[in-house]
Structure 1
Amino acid sequence: MTNTTLAPDPYDFLALEQLLSDEERMVAHTVRQLVVEKIKPNVGEWFENCEFPRELATEFGKLGMLGMHLSGYGCAGMSAVAYGSACLELEAGDSGARSFVSVQGSLAMFPIWRFGSEEQKQEWLPRMAAGEAIGCFGLTEPDSGSDPSSMRTTARRDGDDWVLGGTKMWITNGSIADVAVIWAQTEDGIRGFVVDTKTPGYQARTLDRKMSLRASITAEIVLDNMRLPGTAVLPGVTGIKGPLSCLNEARFGILFGAVGAARDCYETALEYTLNRTQFGKPLAGFQFTQGKLADMLIRINRAHLLALHLGKLKDAGTLAPAQISFGKKDNVAQALHVAREARGMLGASGITLEYPVIRHMNNLESVYTYEGTNEVHTLVLGQAVTNIGAFR
């Protein structure tokens, strides 16, 4: 009888990589390499300068990452777990990189793929999948966030055309986009419109004065009597279910992505405390430090397990929207706790951009709020278990 002592890998403590298929593992490794080579060496400067390099879009496109969970029209048609694993690795680099891929694939490409005409699909999806055309998603407004059904943007018929007017706020990619999916109130209910951003009346202003998601482009969009042909409307959906289905797709990527941000904070704290000496020994040798590292390890692995389980449900076609809310709410909360803990463990170094922790911590404050606030997801879960809505 062989007595073998197995030592868990501190960077994959529960051997969760073994739960991935060969293709999913390949995707994770490929995206991780891109992040190490192209994003991590530069993202501190991008964050400081509030910029997102457009050329990253074509890099993502070459790897098949844009709309990778969609099929046809140049999209990779990969599993939900593969897409989630890509989001995890991207957000280990920066939330801005994951946000770009989420917005492009889940918020801009998905509604065209799911609800668009064949003409709209052929015109936009192949170029968006390649990163040659950038998309954005216009839903949130200055006075309409958690309650999108109260939006004030309107679209009215004028002969065969539509005329849109209104303002959208906090729109990722809004000022660099080539195409925008805009949601507006019509006499028939909420409708989506595929908008070429060169259309007269489309105006976008980049929002720079932010302390979070600085390596991501955020904009205000003003639609000033913008005239669109009748063919611009998404023919396949009417009502709030259209934009909400897109948000569910994006939230799925977030619940994986948050694990990546937490993992990067944990790994940074582990390496820092192993190499930083105080009172004659590494910081990692003190009980307080080890207690914090153990707690971070458990939170990250638990969140990753949850993400993988929800990914398996999505691939099986049995994932409910409330289960996505469960994952988004808890995984982002766990990631934010880990980031804050890691920030303290690095001391003064924790507030500099030489380390990724303060950047992740600030980014996660936005991730905690967007694609449904923590409070909204709490109410979604409450309604799911009581069958009583408490939103109004």
Structure 2
Amino acid sequence: MTDATGGPAAGLVADAPTKPVAERLVEAAIEALGELDVAALLTAVGVREIARRAGASTTGVYTHFGSLAGLADAVVARVFDPGQGPAEDISGLLGVIADSHFPLETGYAYHSAEFQRLTSDPAFRIRMGLWALGGPAVTSAYHHYLRSIDDRLMVAAGALFARWGREVRPPFDVASFVAAQVALLNGTTVRHLVEPETFGIDHFKRAASTLTYFLLRVPGDRHDVDDRLTEVNYYPLDAAATRELTDRTRAMRARVLHAAAELFHHVGFERTTIAQIASHADTSTTSVYDHFTTKAGIAAALFRHQAALHLPGPDAVDHGSVDLVDHLTALAEFVRERAGYAGPYLYHVTAGTTEIEDPVQSTLEELLRRAGHSDPRTAAEVVLIALIRRVLTHPGRPAREHAEAVVALLALPR
């Protein structure tokens, strides 16, 4: 409504007169859209048009539903009825891949099928549209729809993880894992329908599989999601990879180290082969050898990488927050938990086959330098060799006993 001058009528916001009429009309239209509900949307379609499509009279709307609002309620109930179809289909697809060990190809097939199902579902667009423009009642209906789907998927996913011998990494749980996958599916379906040339089924199946790999772990693995992300973004160099690392090679090395960690833990270092590591990392043996010359090199790199994640580094020593005996005690416990592949690391230290910076030796060297040792570099090497040998020879003795024995044996300052 306008006054005699063509300006806005009284009651509009104070700053409205300063805007052009066209802009105010657009903003008013957007505001009106935000206040719609399903009954208003059906009013825009018209009772006569709805009746014509149904092959019925307009009075039939009021006979069966009482009012247009009653028809609107029935529409919402139908559109957001979870039914049995989608969730049952999904559970069936999960069952197909339950017997595989982290099956990449079957995982791709599952996610591809889900993507195709949703992108070809005409009700998907209606659900999105009604949620956006249907008002609070539709938001509530969509909430119950998602929860119903999620509840069924949680049962299927829990059974699948149990068959795989996997659990969800904190801070995620099964409920948030399923919600993340459903959200990824819904969001990417919208993007594909709007811009299919940018985001297609090949992109989605890889994105969804990547999410699964990152959010699952073997029981006993204490790494949470943040730790897993750190593994991809940082790890010390290995002697076999002297070339400059790129984002792509960092990602590949991280996959190899993560695969080796799982296999060394479950199969053992001696029984694990390069071929198994390559298969578990979803790459070729050639790619593994591009980064590591031997299986022992992988073990040594993994040991250094995990030490960098779990033990105090030189920076902590610089601030005076680490005691020598306490640090050696923690290191002894760390070695005992990785006894299966601490040997190859010890060989690398003893043989001096690598010139790269080692976080374990660097921290010990800094501790000894702070304690006033005359040759901290050599002493750090001797301490490390002696400690690892003691732990591997007498794994049942207390870690602090090993630490104190090494310090006393070498007459090092405490």
Question: Could you tell me the TM-score, scaled by structure 1's length?
Answer: 0.24
Structure with a larger share of its residues in strand: 1
* Higher helix content, 1 or 2: 2
Decide which structure has the larger Cα Rg and report it. Answer: 2
TM-score, length of structure 2 as denominator length: 0.23
Larger relative contact order (CA 8 Å, sep ≥ 6): 1
